[in-house]
Amino acid sequence: MSRASLPILRFATTAALFVFTLLTISCSNSLFKVKPVNEMMAMPASAASVNVGSLSFRASPLLTDEETQQLFESNLQLAGLLPVRLEVVHNSGETIEMKKLKFRLSDAANSEWKLISARQAISRIIKANGLTLYNPNARKAFEKDFRAYEFNVKDPLTHAEGKRQGLLIFQSAKKEPVASPKNLSLTIEGLAQPVQLKLN
């Protein structure tokens, strides 16, 4: 082997070890360290709320990088995402078909934010963080942990269940990073009358 080829061989070996290390780490962990959902802090006292008789709603946006880093070890705002914590309490009456409800988020610029699934949000987070080399099992682990926070909009809400909470994930209109949106308003349609919560 010639001396000229030694630096190339060293570089190739170093690169291979680096990739192997990344994959090994990814095998044993999630892409990001997600805080267990049962450790999430209580809804802030300042959360917007409204009572429509049979149902009560409370909602609060996660506006800062610090808030999403604490939960997901990743910057959702950088990915153009805005999580909104939602709590629905079934006070009385018949079962509510949650899948019939429509959740709309708007801001001071009258921009319409798009409600997306946790799976779609995960793809945005991975892209925004520039992750290209990772073990599929690490992604699956992250998906499982992240989706535990997703608000269940599919199953009916019964009085026996009592209360349901989770995150609604909204994507900014132009998929741009989120930067302190003003006058956020969450509108819930599908009830006898639309419900509106002023979030900030």
Instruction: In whole angstroms, give the CA distance from residue 73 to residue 31.
Output: 9
Q: Give the pLDDT confidence of 138-152 residue by residue, as tens digits.
A: 889 999 999 999 999
Q: Give the pLDDT confidence of 16-48 residue by residue, as tens digits.
A: 444 444 444 444 477 888 899 888 888 889 999
**What single-letter DSSP state applies at residue 80?**
T
Say if CB 121 and CB 139 are below 8 A apart: no
Q: Give the pLDDT confidence of 52-95 residue by residue, as tens digits.
A: 999 999 999 998 888 898 899 888 999 999 999 999 999 998 99
At position 125, the amino acid (one-letter code) is I
- Phi and psi (nearest 5°) for 115? -75, 125
Which range has the worst mean pLDDT, 103-107, 108-112, 146-150, 184-188? 108-112
| pLDDT for 4 beyond 70 | no
Evaluate whether the domain defined by 31-198 bears CATH number 2.60.40.
yes
Instruction: In whole angstroms, give the CA distance from residue 144 to residue 41.
Output: 20
Indicate the domain borders of the chain.
31-198
Instruction: In whole angstroms, give the CA distance from residue 75 to residue 90.
Output: 33
- The Cβ of residue 91 has, within 10 Å, a number of other Cβ atoms equal to 12
pTM, two decimal places: 0.81
Dihedral (CA of 160, 165, 166, 167) sign: positive
